[in-house]
Amino acid sequence: MPLLGHRPNERRASMSTTITAQARPARQDAQAASRPGNHIVIVLFMLSLTIPPEVWVELGPIRLPVYRILLVVMAFPCLISLLRGRQGGLNLADFLVFGFALWAAIALLVNHGVSWWQFIGLTTVETVVPYLIARTYIQTAQQFEAFVKLYFIIVLAILPFALIETLTGHHILREIAGQIFGRFTAFEGRPARLGLERAYGPFEHPIHYGLFCATLVGMLVSMQKTRFAALWRYAVMGVAIFCSLSSGPLLLFMVQTQLKIYDVLTRGLKYRWRILSGLVLALYFIVDSMTNRTPFHVIVTYMTLRMESAYNRIHIFDFGMASVEKYPIFGIGLNEWERPPWMSSSVDNFWLVIAMRYGVPAFILFVLALTVIFVRLSRARLQPEQERFRIGWSISMVGMIFAGATVHFWTELYALFMFMVGASYWMVVQSRRAQAADPAQDDAAETAASGSWGSRAPRAGRWRAGPVNLGGVVPAE
């Protein structure tokens, strides 16, 4: 006979109802994530980035490449889906990205007036929609893995054409597109490097082709379960990146390589990423104090293929920073920046372009958005087998951040970068749902050795098995 006031059946029923209620949103999102349309959107987005620039539609004064058409079409569905609570609903990182896009639009409006509304709108779409596509349509580990596999297939499909371009100078994909649509691009007069031609693939510039390939390296290698699978894919990516003969993609490739080597060598070391961050910061101050050049000047000097490119980037940085100091709030928009007449108008520094074009507040908002994503991702409690996704995305993203100091991301590469910014938050959402459905996991779960910016060595058997499917996160036995 039960004690007075104690009703076991009612208590068990109440606990079951609570767990079911907590798991219901995750279960609904898992069902939504499995819909075929989700995979199609990612496929269409990635393929649209690889359509040659000769393929476009003119709408009044606006030129719309294929990827921009897709972004315009997907803008409202993605925004509505996020507002309805898909993928955890709105968060601080979302608001910071929206804030950056809003400030950029205001800066363009201040500098150019309402007559530029079409360009302002397209800039906003290119900033927000790729981020929303990743946030909305990558919701599970399976979807993230499928995205990386698709990405690699695209790189493999382009590689034979890139090799032919490098060896012969015939830009096959661009030339075929030009013949079909009657829009021809002159490739003559562009200097070779190391005795080879620079491959364009289907992109506007060799840097774009190289960056498109190099961005994948960290994610692709980290996902592999065997050393052989990782090594041969790494070698293939190295060949593809080399075909661009561009220092920016090669820098991205080298940074990811070094981070991956560090990841492999330090598994099991507590707080290894914090240690690495401290070492990099210390090295920065050592270089700054022991030379008469800034660390940026030193890095650019040793990380470019030609000294002419290094000196050009240094001059760009110096005169660009002078422009930022002169116009710190709203920048200069797309107006000409002050520089010597012998310098080109090109600015090979993505982060500098943001500050020059939109002002320091836009730069701060963007950096804060990235910081929030990295911090929350580092604190996410993931299963050990999911650590490879976190490590892979982090390595790729850190590489892109470094590469952005030597190249500018524009058009389809900018869309890819914003997509990458939003492609990791599913891990944060799943971690929170797992802890909400089973609060005991908050004390029981430990991040794996290959994990976050404060990772600890894994402990066997820390994940509790349970009957609740947490949106694709099923605790290991």
The pLDDT of residue 294: 73
**Mean pLDDT along residues 447-476:** 38
Tell me the per-residue pLDDT of 16-33, one tens digit each, with 9 for 90 and over.
Answer: 444 444 444 445 445 545
Q: Is 369 within a domain? A: no
From residue 96, give the alpha-carbon distance in Å to each of 131, 350, 364, 373: 12, 18, 10, 10
Tell me the per-residue pLDDT of 416-454, one tens digit each, with 9 for 90 and over.
Answer: 999 999 999 999 988 888 777 766 555 444 444 344 444
Find the radius of gyration of the CA atoms of the chain.
24
The pLDDT of residue 255: 92
The pLDDT of residue 433: 81
Domain that residue 58 falls in: 26-93+116-328+378-444
Q: Is 268 within a domain? A: yes
**Mean pLDDT along residues 184-203:** 79
SS3 of 473, please? strand
**Mean pLDDT along residues 236-263:** 93
Q: Is 193 within a domain? A: yes
- Split into its structural domains, the chain has a count of 1
Q: Is 145 within a domain? A: yes
- Is the pLDDT assigned to residue 121 strictly greater than 90? yes
Q: Is 30 within a domain? A: yes
β-strands 56-59, 62-65 pairing: antiparallel
- Is the pLDDT assigned to residue 312 strictly greater than 90? no
> Whole-number mean pLDDT of the chain?
83
- Is the pLDDT assigned to residue 168 strictly greater than 60? yes
Binned at pLDDT 50, 70 and 90, residue 303 comes out as: low
- d(CA 101, CA 153) in angstroms, rounded, equals 32
Tell me the per-residue pLDDT of 362-394, one tens digit each, with 9 for 90 and over.
Answer: 999 999 999 999 999 999 888 877 889 999 999
- As a three-state string, the secondary structure of 112-172 is HCHHHHHHHHHHHHHHHHHHHHHHHHCCCHHHHHHHHHHHHHHHHHHHHHHHHHHHHCCCH
- Is the pLDDT assigned to residue 12 strictly greater than 60? no
Q: Is 73 within a domain? A: yes
Q: Is 349 within a domain? A: no
The pLDDT of residue 298: 74
Tell me the per-residue pLDDT of 49-74, one tens digit each, with 9 for 90 and over.
Answer: 999 999 989 887 788 999 999 999 99
SS3 of 193, please? strand
Higher-confidence position of 300 and 143: 143
DSSP class per residue in 55-79: -EEEETTEEEEHHHHHHHHHHHHHH
DSSP class per residue in 408-466: ---THHHHHHHHHHHTTHHHHHHHHHHHHH-TTHHHH----TT-STT-----TT-SPP-
pTM for the structure as a whole: 0.84
Q: Is 128 within a domain? A: yes
- d(CA 317, CA 305) in angstroms, rounded, equals 18
- d(CA 122, CA 246) in angstroms, rounded, equals 28
